[in-house]
């Protein structure tokens, strides 16, 4: 087997990541929807001929990085590697074999060198529409949510499956955007394949597997070494998450023994008749992401860095939902896997854990531009990040997803709605020796001249982001229309001139707030991050000095 010295291995590994990054940029630059172009709700992953993930684009969704290898295995079960031909493109949006809901398409191109299979390129992106009732937490079954496309060939030996394209086109509202985004996924996988072949040609690699094995071996060894450094034991956590009228419980027990780490989700609530159920593929991806963030954040993701993470979840629970569960808004529960695992490991890894984040916020909006053009898209915003030891949480920053939030100029051009106001929420970050990141207030006015339908996908409304080690909770999220609070998972219609207001949640604080350096408390006060009352009550600042500081700033 071909051997690689440390320098050569580092260079080749970096080249693979660079190829994945360029594949992402091709997807972004050729896509038709703002969800990809502006929000980067996507991933591109490179694999060897055995289906082992090697590298992914830096701007890739953590959950997609985790579901991608699972999806490829399902694709190869349907179309074994020896049956694939140059020009084939395999496609699916299966919620259980893909990313957990129907809006994400998975597009795979095999890579051939001299007639021999050399690897695979997989791209994933969120479509602006897939038919049905649209993304909503109110959907009761997956059959309401849109078109389900089993694993199939979009291209067969270079020939487009016209019937499949026509089927998709007939079932979606924004046809050009949907088909354009699907073809952008095809294009980027073709570019990724070409760049992989150029790398193999440049370095005289007839087979990527020796390089793959070297990368995976190093990653897995590093991961297992970090697991061995965790004290053996059983670490449990239990939290509640908003559902509708009754919250659901998420529970986990992390068992660490030597280099083995197993997460058991026994005790988690059963799936419900609403669109917030989570297929196991999504839970598995979020679990691996949480563990890697805690113990090995510096090593790029690949098969070797996730292999050591084992998990189990009772079938039919909300983290291992079964058909016909609705899963369109699975992020509203699935994202909580990360703080759930972090909370369990707070005792074992007190310096590595992060307080709870305020979480990503998403709103599905459907309407017409002032010029009559139809739009169906998502508006993303973010709460604050949780604090860590000696590190304040960032404000208005997505977690655990890392997609970008919507720029005001793009949103107004796309929809004719007006983003009236966007400002950080004072006192929304959890107090602590390290302060939680602030949430933000956003005000959106319907200036389209027509009704706009909205489906809210909100969390952290009743259960705010928790602090750690005596840190305080962040502020809760609030939705209101024309000043009146509304259900965070409801569907509404905005009339002309109606104002939708979002108060995004703050992140949790870390450590005793009375130990926060006085200098930082004064800086927070001067920057408008906290009020005088908070500075005095939580941080112990002298009232006279606080008043004097406020007058000096004014």
> Does residue 353 contact residue 293 with C-beta atoms inside 8 Å?
no
Q: Which of 185, 220, 255 is the last residue of a domain?
A: 220
Q: Which pLDDT belongs to residue 549?
A: 64
Q: Domain residues for 434?
A: 354-516
Contacts of residue 376, Cβ cutoff 8 Å, sequence gap at least 6: 128, 129, 134, 173, 174, 364, 365, 366
Count of the separate structural domains present in the chain: 2
Does residue 52 form part of some domain?
yes
* CB 466, CB 356: distance < 8 Å: yes
Q: Are 101 and 330 in contact (CB under 8 A)?
A: yes
- Say how far apart CA 255 and CA 310 lie, in whole Å: 10
CA 38 remoteness from chain centre? 15
Model pLDDT, residue 190: 97
Cβ contacts of residue 153 below 8 Å, gap of 6+?
A: 79, 88, 89, 90, 91, 161
Does 81 reside within a domain? yes
Whether 393 contacts 471, CB under 8 Å: no
Residues in the chain: 554
- At 15 the pLDDT is 94
**The last residue of a domain, from among 220, 241, 270:** 220
Q: Examine the fold and report which residue of 195, 220, 245 is the final residue of a domain before the chain moves on.
A: 220
DSSP collapsed to 3 states, 233-283: EEEEEEEEECCCCCCEEEEEEEEEECCEEEEECCCCCECCCCCCCCCHHHH
Neighbours of 11 (CB within 10 A): 12
Q: What is the pLDDT of residue 551?
A: 61
User: What does the pLDDT read at residue 298?
Assistant: 84
Consecutive 10-residue runs of the chain (554 residues): their mean pLDDT? 80 94 97 93 96 92 94 98 97 98 98 96 97 93 97 98 97 96 98 97 92 91 94 97 92 96 98 97 96 89 88 97 97 97 95 95 94 92 96 95 86 95 97 98 97 96 96 98 96 97 98 96 94 94 71 56
Please report whether residue 465 resides in a domain. yes
Residue 546: per-residue pLDDT: 65
Q: Give, for 215, the enclosing helix (H) or strand (E).
A: helix 209-228
Strand-pairing partners, residue 254, are: 235, 263
β pairing state of 499-503 and 374-382:
unpaired
User: Are the C-beta atoms of residues 474 and 358 closer than 8 Å to each other?
Assistant: yes
- 405 in any annotated domain: yes
pLDDT computed for residue 545 by the predictor:
67
383 and 504 Cβ atoms separated by less than 8 Å: yes
Q: Tell me whether residue 236 is in a domain.
A: no
535 belongs to a structural domain: no
Q: Which residues of 128-145 are buried (b: 16+ CB within 10 A; e: fewer)?
A: bbbbbbbbbbbbeebebb
CA atoms of 337 and 343, how far apart (whole Å)? 10
Which are the contacts of 528, defined by CB distance < 8 A and separation ≥ 6? 424, 426
Rounded Cα distance, 370 and 420, in Å: 17
**Predicted local distance difference test score (pLDDT) of residue 301:** 84
**Residue 351 CB neighbour total at 10 angstroms:** 7
292 is a domain residue: no
With respect to residue 381, please indicate whether it lies within any of the assigned structural domains.
Answer: yes
């Amino acid at each position: 087997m071909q051997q690689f010295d440390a320098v050569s291995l580092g260079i080749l590994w970096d080249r693979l990541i660079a190829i994945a990054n360029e594949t992402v940029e091709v997807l972004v630059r050729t896509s038709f929807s703002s969800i990809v172009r502006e929000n980067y709700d996507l991933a591109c992953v490179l694999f060897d001929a055995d289906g082992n993930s090697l590298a992914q684009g830096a701007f890739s969704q953590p959950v997609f990085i985790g579901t991608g290898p699972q999806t490829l295995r399902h694709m190869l079960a349907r179309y074994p590697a020896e049956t694939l031909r140059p020009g084939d493109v395999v496609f699916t949006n299966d919620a259980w074999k893909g990313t957990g809901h129907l809006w994400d398409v998975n597009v795979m191109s095999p890579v051939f060198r001299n007639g021999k299979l050399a690897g695979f390129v997989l791209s994933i992106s969120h479509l602006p529409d897939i038919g049905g009732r649209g993304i909503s937490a109110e959907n009761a079954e997956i059959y309401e949510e849109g078109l389900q496309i089993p694993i199939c060939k979009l291209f067969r030996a270079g020939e487009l499956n016209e019937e499949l394209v026509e089927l998709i086109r007939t079932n979606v509202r924004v046809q050009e955007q949907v088909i354009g985004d699907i073809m952008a996924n095809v294009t980027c996988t073709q570019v990724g394949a070409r760049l992989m072949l150029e790398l193999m040609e440049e370095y005289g690699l007839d087979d990527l597997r020796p390089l793959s094995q070297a990368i995976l071996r190093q990653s897995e060894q590093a991961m297992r070494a970090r697991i061995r450094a965790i004290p053996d034991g059983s670490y449990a956590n239990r939290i509640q998450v908003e559902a509708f009228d009754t919250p659901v419980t998420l529970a986990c027990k992390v068992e660490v023994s030597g280099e083995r780490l197993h997460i058991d989700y026994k005790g988690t609530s059963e799936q419900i008749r609403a669109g917030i159920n989570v297929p196991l593929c999504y839970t598995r991806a979020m679990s691996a992401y949480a563990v890697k963030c805690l113990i090995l954040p510096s090593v790029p993701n690949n098969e070797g860095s996730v292999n050591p993470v084992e998990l189990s979840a009772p079938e039919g629970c909300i983290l291992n939902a079964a058909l016909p569960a609705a899963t369109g808004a699975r992020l509203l529960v699935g994202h909580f896997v990360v703080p759930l695992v972090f909370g369990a490991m707070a005792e074992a890894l007190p310096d590595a854990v992060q307080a709870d984040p305020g979480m990503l916020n998403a709103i599905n909006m459907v309407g017409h531009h002032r010029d009559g053009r139809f739009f169906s898209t998502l508006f993303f915003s973010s709460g604050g990040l949780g604090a860590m030891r000696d590190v304040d949480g960032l404000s208005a920053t997505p977690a655990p997803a890392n997609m970008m939030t919507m720029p005001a100029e793009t949103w107004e051009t796309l929809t004719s709605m007006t983003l009236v106001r966007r400002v950080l929420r004072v006192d929304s970050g959890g107090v602590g020796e390290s302060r939680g990141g602030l949430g933000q207030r956003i005000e959106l006015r319907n200036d389209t001249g027509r009704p706009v339908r909205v489906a809210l996908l909100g969390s952290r409304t009743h259960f705010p982001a928790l602090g750690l080690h005596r840190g305080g909770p962040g502020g809760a999220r609030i939705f209101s229309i024309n000043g009146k609070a509304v259900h965070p998972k409801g569907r509404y219609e905005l009339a002309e001139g109606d104002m939708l207001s979002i108060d995004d949640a703050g992140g949790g604080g870390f450590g005793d707030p009375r130990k926060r350096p006085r200098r930082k408390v004064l800086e927070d006060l001067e920057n408008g991050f906290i009020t005088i009352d908070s500075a005095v009550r939580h941080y112990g600042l002298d009232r006279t000095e606080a008043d004097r500081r406020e007058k000096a700033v004014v």
